[in-house]
Copies of this chain bind each other. A is one copy, B any other.
Amino acid sequence: MNIVTDEISTSMAAGSWIRKMFEKGRELKNTFGEDAVCDFSLGNPDVPPPFAAKAALEEIASNAVKPLGLGYCPNAGIPYVREAMAAYLSRQQQTSVDASHVIMSVGAAGAMVSFFRAVIEKDDEVLVSAPYFVEYGFYCGHFGGKLRAIPALTPDFTPDVEALAKAINPKTRVLLINSPNNPTGCIYSEEVLKKIAALVDAENERREREGGRPLFLLSDEPYRIFAFDGCTVPPILPLTKWSCVLGSFSKSISLAGERVGYFLVNPAMPGAETLISALILTTRTLGSVNAPVIGQRLAAALLDETVDLSVYDSRRRLMAKVLSSAGIEFPMPKGAFYFFAKSPVEDEMKFVDALLEEKILVVTGKGFGFPGYIRLSCSVDEKIIARAENGFKRAVERVLA
């Protein structure tokens, strides 16, 4: 008898190669020891949370044992946390927003799922530039949405705005961007963002005239503070009234496991209040009810703090050196903490296998809708990056031989 739905069965089968990779990695670690394996496959931020997290948690502890000390908060979040977020996001987005435009969520992922539930009808399309974070497809797929990926321009992975424009059709409900980007580390320039925003505005003007539902520009920004070489991440809210922003504290203060994120609706959006009400409903009924209250308080207490970004920057420089010395090509990532590097051979699975033989774990480009590449995470100690140098060299030599 079918214990689960056909769709979920298919999803489980589709994910099996990731699991196989993961199991191979675990096998290697079990056989040779944790330290012998260079694992660049994980996105679990390993730089410690800011030191102030300890005092903030102690403060939370001292207020926990009282009536409603850890009780439900309003579905949209703790009021003072939303206020603090509004001030923070007003600065960040160079746009005045207030608490009513911010909804606290179970991580950025929870925010995105709540949004898709509110706006996606069956067979609606979510347009994204490839490579992209593969979970996006699941997030919209829960509600019958379809992810449609348009290959980015190589070598630097800037979105192909003309191709995106051509792909827009009446079923396109969301244009989803992610800068700094996972997996490429690309930061979209203000010029590119303006073009994308203009595209969304033009389409919505047409829909207002000719009928149709709005096309949203959704900006997924969990890596916003990870910008290096003096780069900045331009705000999206000033560029189009049809924009929404979401993010989290998973990376910025290494709070990934506690699941705290936020969703921000552009106050200038026609129907913003309706969208916000809908998001409060879907946040409640998708089971979150409200974002975890300890995490919300912790995030609010650490709003002006970040992890030590110089650690990531230094790893980034070292990884660039190591990959270059092995003759591996990549665009230098200006943001996030990933490298998306070109496989020396077209079928990157061969390269991934060769790296496995060197006890180096990476993720295939296929896992991000962009074959021929590999993704490497810098969420590992510099010692491991340095140690992998010869393994990279040998793997490249072997696949090219």
Which A residues form the contact surface with B (CB < 8 A)?
A: 1-6, 8-9, 11-12, 15, 44-51, 53-55, 57-58, 60-62, 64-73, 105-107, 109-114, 117-121, 135, 138-139, 142-143, 204, 207-208, 212-214, 250, 254-259, 270-271, 274-275, 277-278, 281-282, 284-295, 298
User: Which residue of B3, B53, B73 contacts A65 across the interface (Cβ within 8 Å)?
Assistant: B53
Taking a contact as CB atoms under 8 Å apart, the answer to whether A258 and B119 are in contact is no
Known: A71-B254, A139-B287. 19 other contacts (CB 8 A): A1-B204, A1-B214, A2-B214, A3-B213, A3-B214, A4-B118, A5-B119, A12-B277, A12-B281, A15-B281, A48-B66, A49-B69, A51-B65, A53-B70, A114-B287, A257-B290, A257-B293, A259-B289, A259-B290
Copies of this protein, total: 2
Residue among A54, A70, A204, A213 with most chain B CB within 10 A = A70
26 contacts between A and B (CB under 8 A): A1-B207, A2-B214, A3-B214, A3-B270, A4-B118, A4-B275, A4-B278, A12-B278, A44-B68, A47-B67, A48-B69, A49-B70, A53-B61, A53-B70, A54-B65, A55-B61, A57-B60, A70-B254, A71-B256, A106-B292, A113-B287, A114-B287, A135-B285, A139-B285, A292-B295, A294-B294
Contact status of A69 and B259, CB under 8 A, knowing A4-B118, A143-B142: no
Taking a contact as CB atoms under 8 Å apart, the answer to whether A64 and B44 are in contact is no
A118-B7 Cα distance, complex, nearest whole Å:
9
Taking a contact as CB atoms under 8 Å apart, the answer to whether B120 and A5 are in contact is yes
Contact status of A49 and B65, CB under 8 A, knowing A1-B270, A73-B257, A120-B5: yes
